């Protein structure tokens, strides 16, 4: 006979410690969500700054763009934009693969391909911007 003062027992699949820490099955979802959110927030002003800068550069010569990128502040903001964009892209694509690809070998291959592709694309963009700005 159940005790009237006790709450009903609810069976769950997560342990008490896991619930207390707020960790899901992958044990890293909160960190990924936070990184994705912070990069989203950082990308808003950086993207608006970039769009405004490019609108001002309509009709400019290569030398005009190089002079603009030669400013330390502009170069630093451009590098931040590139780093945040590619990191945000890698997080998003990895999340899609982790959620929807169920075959372990295919998942690992896709995740490694995403990491490599975003790294080399980011590197190519950063080298291009540094070459133009310096």
Please name which of 3, 129, 116, 115 lies closest in space to residue 70, comparing C-alpha atoms: 129
23 in a structural domain: yes
CA distance 114 to 127: 20
Q: Residue range 63-85: average pLDDT?
A: 96
CA distance 134 to 116: 26
Q: How many structural domains are present in the chain? A: 1
- How confident is the model over 11-48, as pLDDT tens digits? 556 566 655 565 555 556 788 899 999 999 999 999 99
Phi and psi at residue 24, to the nearest 5°: -90, -160
3 in a structural domain: no
2 in a structural domain: no
Range of the domain at 105: 16-133
DSSP letter (8 states) at residue 61: -
How far is CA 48 from its chain centroid?
Answer: 18
11 in a structural domain: no
Tell me the percentage of the chain whose pLDDT exceeds 90: 75
Q: What is the pLDDT of residue 17?
A: 60
- Poorest-pLDDT segment among 22-26, 92-96, 98-102, 123-127: 22-26
| Confidence band, pLDDT 50/70/90 cuts, at residue 64 | very high
What's the mean per-residue pLDDT of the chain? 88
Q: What is the pLDDT of residue 31?
A: 87
37 in a structural domain: yes
What is the pTM (predicted TM-score) of this model?
A: 0.78
Residue bearing the bigger pLDDT, 84 or 4:
84
34 in a structural domain: yes
CATH of the domain at 87: 1.20.1300.10
With the CA atoms of 104, 106, 107 and 110 taken in that order, what torsion angle do they form, in degrees rounded to the nearest 10?
A: 160
10 in a structural domain: no
């Amino acid at each position: 006979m159940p005790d009237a003062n006790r709450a009903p027992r609810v069976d769950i699949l997560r342990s008490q410690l896991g619930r207390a820490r707020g960790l899901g099955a992958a044990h890293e979802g909160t960190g990924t969500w936070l990184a994705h959110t912070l990069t989203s927030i950082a990308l808003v002003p950086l993207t608006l700054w970039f769009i405004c800068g490019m609108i001002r550069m309509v009709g400019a010569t290569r030398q005009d763009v190089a002079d603009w990128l030669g400013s330390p502040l502009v170069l630093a903001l451009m590098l931040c934009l590139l780093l945040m964009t590619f990191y945000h892209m890698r997080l998003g694509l990895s999340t899609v693969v982790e959620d929807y690809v169920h075959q372990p070998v295919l998942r690992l291959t896709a995740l490694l391909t995403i990491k490599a592709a975003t790294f080399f694309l980011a590197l190519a963009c950063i080298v291009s911007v540094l070459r133009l700005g310096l």
